[in-house]
Amino acid sequence: MRICFLLASVGVAVAETGIDAWLRYAPLTGSSVVHSALPNNVVVLNSSQGSPVYTAGQELHNGIKSIFDKSTRVCYSKETKSALVVGTVAEYEKVYGALQNVPELAPDGFWLDTTGFNIQIVGQDERGALYGAFEYLSMLAQGNFTKVAYATNPAGNIRWVNQWDNMDGSIERGYGGASIFFANGTVVSDLTRAAQYARLLASVRINAVVINNVNANSTTLSAENIQGVSRIADVMRPYGVQVGLSLDFASPTEGVQNPVVHNLTTYDPLDESVVQWWTNITDNIYSIIPDFAGYLVKADSEGQAGPLVYNRTLAQGANLFAKTLEPYGGTLMYRAFVYNLLNESNWTEDRAKAAVDFFQPLDGQFMDNTVIQIKYGPIDFQVREPTSPLFASLRETNAAIELEVAQEYLGQQCHLVYLPPLWKTVLDFDLQVDNESSVVRNIISGQRFNRPLGGSAAVVNTMLTNNVRLGSNLAMSNLYAYGRLAWDATQEPEPVLQDWIRLTFGLHPRILSTITQMSMESWPAYLNYSGNLGIQTLTDILYTHFGPNPASQELNGYGQWTRADSLSVGMDRTCSNGTCYSGQYPPKVYEMYESIETTPDDLILWFHHVNWTHVLHSGKTVIQHFYDSHYSGAATAQTFVTQLASLSGLIDSERYNEMMYRQLYQAGHSIVWRDSVNDYYYNMTLIPDDHGRVGHHPWRIEAEAMALDGYRISGVALNETASNKSAIVTVSNSTTGIATHIIDFPSGRYDIGVNYFDLYGGVSNFSAYVNNRKLGSWQGNAEFTLGHELTYFLDGNSNTRHHFFDVDVKEGDELKIVGVPDQMEAAPVDYVVFLPVGSGIVD
């Protein structure tokens, strides 16, 4: 019997909100020949509705309809006409006979062959079949009709993402709007977005998502919430995406509302009642969600409860959960992010050593279904860190790398930072364990130490949430690339990026070259203006993790110290004279970092404490390198605006406008970064910039130097975060402020930037005039449009720039800024800059 259907098509992209990300399947023009060469039939082998293979059939049908406007018949049994056949190896061989010349497939792997009468998309399992379907569609959507026949297998079986969503609907370090899973303490009723998210994840071969914050809340385990989690699992299952949960170690004592457990007075992992408590919870979860992925545990870290409270080891804590998961094949991801607060006055204390100190002695004591999840560097998702030495220290324990797509310290999706070049510095790093090749990607895949489990996890906030407005289109390249690299970390960042560009924005060569260039330049640029030479991201580490605040690194227990003073800077992590963090690496790597001669410039301040006048391998002094790289990084960020502008008309206006809004923001904020950091170290060292730029801003009119009416001069939270250390604010929250100044720059055309502060707690209105000619108005409304962490202060987080381009200005014209405050935002202004058009000056 032949069972075929002409399906109604869904999912054709109409409005370009960006919600479909790289799965738009936009119509390909000029492809009619190929269209007729595509089979008319899709054969979906042995799929029950809701299974990944069934989904594969739907995707193939819908994708081909959308790309080529061609309706295929979807059949659920053998078809004699030429067809696109999708299914598992077992089903394929049952129906069509043995597959010829197919290399061995691992779980989730697939075979794609477009060379024969039938197009074969055959997965080792259902998930593999779906991945193969997405792969084939990705080729078609990119206009790639090459005949291919190849098998591909994942490098690691752990390809997870971690959502840091809270039960109240907020997201820890989430910059794209509210949770798509939770609100008001429970799972939301409409899970449409969760299903769309699973589809995106599956298309890049992510196989599980931990849906709640690592700083977990025990209420997730209530009977009602586990039912809710099971609904999430139901909408993700058709995409082969499993659901996992973060746990709060102290849950047994926290009154969880679930009849399978009752409240205890202890959470000691060796206490029988605690073991039973977790066994009951796990049994209960698996009875409702049989394909539950497992747990993620953050314990004894940043205020979270853990086994150390009861003098038990981290391994004893981990095994408590691992044992309950074992009968079900569940996985325990146990985080290595454990550290204590430290004392900076002690020269040898070092947070970077914590993970190895805690975990290395426990190697071999974790159960086989446990994976230690290790942040890529030893501190915390910084703009550059050396590879965590813990990867070299666990030989009898499974390991996975933890990356952060969310850009917490890297611009919070308001700065374009394409992350794979950063990730590759770690994934491709050779730790040379036992003097043998020990590249991180081969350690986490399990290959190097012959471990059964391993892979990657990435902290993601969904970015394109229900509030599409907060989503960053360009930031989606990081999620896409994360999945691609989790599958195969040998891939290079640029070709992966280019697949994403074609899928997201179409095939126009100018789009491809421009977004490639912007993206590939973006991490080096951000590194240059936010934290070069291995000093870490010089952001506000105590609060927002967003804008510049170098002073915040010091004089607290968090151990992200730079030890900067008027003469010198950097952490001495050598064994000869410092914290001996270098000694945590295998001998060859240790030797490289122990010596200042062989430490690469880009990590010099991570490993060595040097004078500001120390000459780098590059020939520059440390301080001059700081000045130059901050100027060059910010200059590159300015070019992102012009580069993107060259794509006007080639990209739909919705997405173009959203991208331009963020690039303009980054252009302005990169200058805030540049000046804050440079001024801070100039004020500390009094060493002048060889090029005379730092502290000299000939094209600026300081707001405090203008004639003020209704405005008054104000200091700022950190001097260097305002030009000339001060700004203006309205005298009250109901007074309109007016600031005027006679322009004494030569007559000509100028790009004008107004630096103002955009805080929480009000939407001020600003207008700018030249000789009473209104240039335009804007609002201090970043809290509704950008999604990064804001502050209530005038500081490096809130300082930003509004731009007017190509304005005709005459010497003697009057500049006027009018600020209307709102609530506690007193229309604050820092300065106005006049940049002669075409001069290349970035002041």
- Interacting residues toward ligand GCU by CB under 6 A: 172-173, 214-215, 298, 302, 337, 380, 408, 545
Closest to 764 measured CA to CA, from 816, 815, 819, 805: 819
Closest to 821 measured CA to CA, from 713, 734, 710: 734
- Residue 419 to residue 433: CA distance in whole angstroms: 27
Beta strands 242-247 and 208-210 are parallel
Q: Is the CB of 158 or the CB of 659 nearer to ligand GCU?
A: 158
Q: Is the CB of 337 or the CB of 487 nearer to ligand GCU?
A: 337
Alpha-carbon torsion (816, 822, 826, 828), positive or negative: negative
Buried b (16+ CB within 10 A) or exposed e, 817-839: bbbbbbeebbbbbbbbbbbbeee
Q: Quote the least distance from Cβ 382 to ligand GCU, whole Å.
A: 11
Helix (H) or strand (E) holding 151: strand 149-152
**Catalytic residue (one of 224, 302, 709, 808):** 302
Spatial contact of 601 and 628, defined as CB atoms under 8 Å apart: no
Residue 393 tokens, joined: 């220290």
- Residue 443 to residue 425: CA distance in whole angstroms: 15
Q: Quote the least distance from Cβ 404 to ligand GCU, whole Å.
A: 8
Q: Is the CB of 172 or the CB of 430 nearer to ligand GCU?
A: 172
Q: Quote the least distance from Cβ 213 to ligand GCU, whole Å.
A: 7
- Tell me the three state secondary structure of residue 614: coil
Q: Quote the least distance from Cβ 556 to ligand GCU, whole Å.
A: 13
Q: Quote the least distance from Cβ 215 to ligand GCU, whole Å.
A: 5
Q: Is the CB of 226 or the CB of 336 nearer to ligand GCU?
A: 336
Active site residue 302: yes
* Site of tokens 């730092």: 694
Active site residue 554: no
Phi, psi of 349 (to 5 degrees): -75, 145
Q: Is the CB of 99 or the CB of 309 nearer to ligand GCU?
A: 309
46 bridge partner residues: none
Q: How far is CA 145 from CA 139, 203, 204, in A?
A: 7, 19, 20
**Catalytic residue (one of 79, 380, 404, 720):** 380
Q: Is the CB of 244 or the CB of 710 nearer to ligand GCU?
A: 244
**Catalytic residue (one of 59, 408, 540, 675):** 408
Q: How far is CA 578 from CA 568, 570, 573, 729, 840, in A?
A: 15, 11, 5, 46, 44
Q: Quote the least distance from Cβ 94 to ligand GCU, whole Å.
A: 46
Q: Is the CB of 58 or the CB of 246 nearer to ligand GCU?
A: 246
Beta-carbon contacts of residue 281 (< 8 Å; ≥ 6 apart)? 221, 251, 256, 258, 260, 261, 324
210 bridge partner residues: 162, 244
- CB neighbours (10 Å) of residue 275? 17
Q: Quote the least distance from Cβ 335 to ligand GCU, whole Å.
A: 7
- Residue 128 to residue 112: CA distance in whole angstroms: 10
Q: Is the CB of 224 or the CB of 302 nearer to ligand GCU?
A: 302
Beta strands 158-163 and 208-210 are parallel
Q: Quote the least distance from Cβ 173 to ligand GCU, whole Å.
A: 5
DSSP per-residue codes, 2-63 = --EEEPPP-----S--STTTT---PPPTT-HHHHHHS-SEEEE-S--TTSHHHHHHHHHHHH
Spatial contact of 480 and 496, defined as CB atoms under 8 Å apart: yes
Q: Is the CB of 355 or the CB of 518 nearer to ligand GCU?
A: 355
- Residue 565 to residue 571: CA distance in whole angstroms: 12
- Residue 145 to residue 147: CA distance in whole angstroms: 6
Closest to 570 measured CA to CA, from 535, 618, 518: 535
Q: Is the CB of 259 or the CB of 303 nearer to ligand GCU?
A: 303
Q: Quote the least distance from Cβ 297 to ligand GCU, whole Å.
A: 11
Q: Is the CB of 302 or the CB of 368 nearer to ligand GCU?
A: 302
Q: Quote the least distance from Cβ 457 to ligand GCU, whole Å.
A: 11
Residue 307 tokens, joined: 């086994």
Question: Exposure of 604 by Cβ count < 10 A (0-12 exposed, 13-18 middle, 19+ buried)?
Answer: buried
Q: Quote the least distance from Cβ 387 to ligand GCU, whole Å.
A: 18
Q: Tell me the catalytic residues.
A: 302, 380, 408
